[in-house]
Amino acid sequence: MVDQNAIRESSGQRAGARGDPRLDWWRDARFGMFIHWGLYAIPAGEWKGEQIPGIGEWIMHRARIPVREYEPLAARFNPVRFDAAEWVSLARRAGQKYLIITSKHHDGFSMYDSKVTDYDIVDATPFGRDPIRELAAECQRQGIRLGFYYSQTQDWHHPDGDGNDWDYDESAKDFAGYLERYVKPQLRELLTSYGPVSVIWFDTPRRITTEQSQSLVDFVHHLQPACLVCGRVGNHLGDYASTRDNTIPADSLDLDWETPATINDTWGYKKNDHHWKSPRELIQKLVDVVSKGGNYLLNVGPTAEGVIPQPSVERLLAVGTWLETNGESIYGTGAGPVQGLHWCRATAKPGRTYLHVLDWPVGGDLRVPGLRSKVSRAYLLADPARGSLSVTAEPDALLIKGPARPPDPDDSVVVLESAAGG
């Protein structure tokens, strides 16, 4: 039963279509980096001396900033400390296998060199460089897959985009014309000028019709057949489903799905958002998502100077350190056979179940209910010697005798090898 509360735009056409080989890399990857970067990093949550509530990239909407007042931010955008190699290296060290960056968010500003508009980072800013091109080259060099976030419906700058009712009359908009004469030409630029694109991450479908969503899916697949389309293209279409922000389903889901998540409470940089999740929380959320068959897309919001906030860097490196030891229990795994326990999650791949013990029991005796497959061997993934642990089948549980102290303070992984080997 799909947890509808969690899945906002489940991709109906492919829900359960687990056999699609185009998603093989994506199911192996399990963990990606999201980057929300744009003009909104300049105000960083403050406008005319007032703190604007909500997520940072929505400041134009929340403060109903007129286009004529928001546009001049472009002339101030000069991220001289931007370093594509540094950003991609951080993703790699964090264990994130794909990177999705905002090419155009709802504010309508293009963070790449677009020929469709001059309202873009090369033509409208003193920076004058194309960071997407630099990131594309670095991702190729460092072996990280690259995707683009693209707001296909909301565009608070364009008179025919959705969402700006303070400068424009919503009822007078030609949204169909916007899609054909603005969105598709920009998607063509993104899908023909930057090499292989692994994902187009559409967002907030809102007024878009099923035909229009399908037209965008077909357009992307025509230009790059291997490129995945996120379910937020709308109308239950797309190659995989997207949960609500920062939402993890209660149960495992038998379809391809992804949770987009923040490390603090905002996607775009806000100077006063210091509500950072701990490394423990992030590791356990990653494990929770993967144990239910999903991918975790964890966001960073770089500053207007082009710097990823240090608290984000520290947390991502901590997750990466955990993955250095335990990555085998995440990458290429799916939902495990043990579900619904508060102290433990399970991921699995053929022949192996990985028990993620989030709350190690006093004394080290692990009683795991509901395990049907015969276990030939058990050992700690963190143990280089892979010394066998004692395993006893009790009437309604498997008893695994682990060490008194947990090998890892946040998530200790016990590997169960199946007797069948399959």
Q: Is 245 in the site for ligand JFZ (CB under 6 A)?
A: yes
Nearest to 107 by CA among 47, 157, 179: 157
SS3 of residue 259 by DSSP? strand
CA distances to 4, 100, 418 from 248, rounded to whole Å, are 11, 20, 28
Binding mask 96-135 for ligand JFZ (x = CB under 6 A): ----------------------------------------
Compute the least distance from the CB of residue 75 to ligand JFZ, in Å: 23
Q: What is the bridge-based pairing of β-strands 199-202 and 228-229?
A: parallel
Q: Is 267 in the site for ligand JFZ (CB under 6 A)?
A: yes
300 burial (CB, 10 Å; 0-12 / 13-18 / 19+) is: buried
51-59, 133-141, 316-324, 334-342 -> range binding ligand JFZ (CB under 6 A): 51-59
Side-chain-facing half-sphere of 221: CA atoms under 13 Å: 14
Compute the least distance from the CB of residue 363 to ligand JFZ, in Å: 42
394 burial (CB, 10 Å; 0-12 / 13-18 / 19+) is: exposed
Compute the least distance from the CB of residue 409 to ligand JFZ, in Å: 30
Q: Is 62 in the site for ligand JFZ (CB under 6 A)?
A: no
Name the residue nearer to ligand JFZ (CB basis): 36 or 356.
36
Taking CB under 6 A as the criterion, which residues in 202-221 touch ligand JFZ?
203-204
Binding mask 169-208 for ligand JFZ (x = CB under 6 A): ----------------------------------xx----
37-45, 52-60, 276-284, 287-295 -> range binding ligand JFZ (CB under 6 A): 52-60
Compute the least distance from the CB of residue 380 to ligand JFZ, in Å: 36
Binding mask 305-324 for ligand JFZ (x = CB under 6 A): --------------------
Side-chain-facing half-sphere of 314: CA atoms under 13 Å: 9
User: What's the rounded Cα separation, in Å, for the pair 280 and 409?
Assistant: 8
> How many residues touch ligand JFZ (CB under 6 A)?
10
Beta strands in 48-198 (DSSP E): 50-51, 98-104, 145-150
Q: Is 63 in the site for ligand JFZ (CB under 6 A)?
A: no
Beta bridge partners of 368: 398
CB 104 within 8 A of CB 124: no
Taking CB under 6 A as the criterion, which residues in 246-265 touch ligand JFZ?
260
User: What's the rounded Cα separation, in Å, for the pair 327 and 324?
Assistant: 6
Q: Is 8 in the site for ligand JFZ (CB under 6 A)?
A: yes
> Which residues make up the interface to ligand JFZ (CB under 6 A)?
8, 55, 57-58, 203-204, 244-245, 260, 267
